[in-house]
Structure 1
Amino acid sequence: MEIDACFRYYFQHPWSRLIVAYLVTFFNFLIFAEDPISHSQTEAHIIVVGNCFSFLFNKYPGLGWNILKVICWILAIITGLLAGKFIFHRQLFGKSCAR
C-alpha cells in the first residue's frame, strides 16, 4: 500500500499536527461541558497511598506472598517493556511500516 506523497506531506506537517491537538482539546472541553455527570455533586474520597498499602500488605497473608507479588509486578513491567521494544516496535511495526 503506497501513500500518496502529497497526502503524507500534509498529514505529517507540523500545522496539521497542531490543529489535531487543538481540536482534541476543544472537543474534550466540549464533552466535559455537555456531560451531565460532570456537574453531579457526588463526593469521592480516593486515598491512593492507603489503597496501595492495603493492596500490598493486607490482601495476602505473610511477608513471603507480598515479596512474591512485588517480584511478579517488577517482572511483568520489565517483560512488557522488552516485548514492546523488541517484538512490537522492531519486528512487527519496523517491518510492516517501513518505507
Structure 2
Amino acid sequence: MGIRNASTKPICHSLPMSRKESNFASFNDDQKLIIAEMLLDSRQSAIHDVCAHLEWLHSSERLTLDLDGVRLPTSPFFGTMHMDYTCRLNGDAWPDEEV
C-alpha cells in the first residue's frame, strides 16, 4: 500500500499499489462518490451504535462518565446520546454550554 495524494498517484513509488487501491483507482468520479457515501454512512452508523451502547450502560448505572473529576449526568439534554448524535448529523444546534 503506497501513500497517496489527492490525485491517487503514489508518493512512495517503491511500494506496490494494493488490490483494493488499484480497483478503487479504476472507478470513475461518480463511483468514488457512491463508495465515499457508503463508507460515511457505515462510519456514522457505527458511532450511533457505540453511543447507544454507552447510553445503555450509563443509564443502567453500569458505567459512569467523568470529565476533569466531575461526574457527567445521564442524558443531560433530555435525550439519549445516540439520538443526540443523529440530531447533530441532521443540523441541530449544540446546546448552550451554560446548560
TM-score by length of 1: 0.38
Higher strand proportion (structure 1 or 2): 2
TM-score by length of 2: 0.38
Higher helix proportion (structure 1 or 2): 1
Higher relative contact order, structure no. (Cα contacts within 8 Å, ≥ 6 residues apart):
2
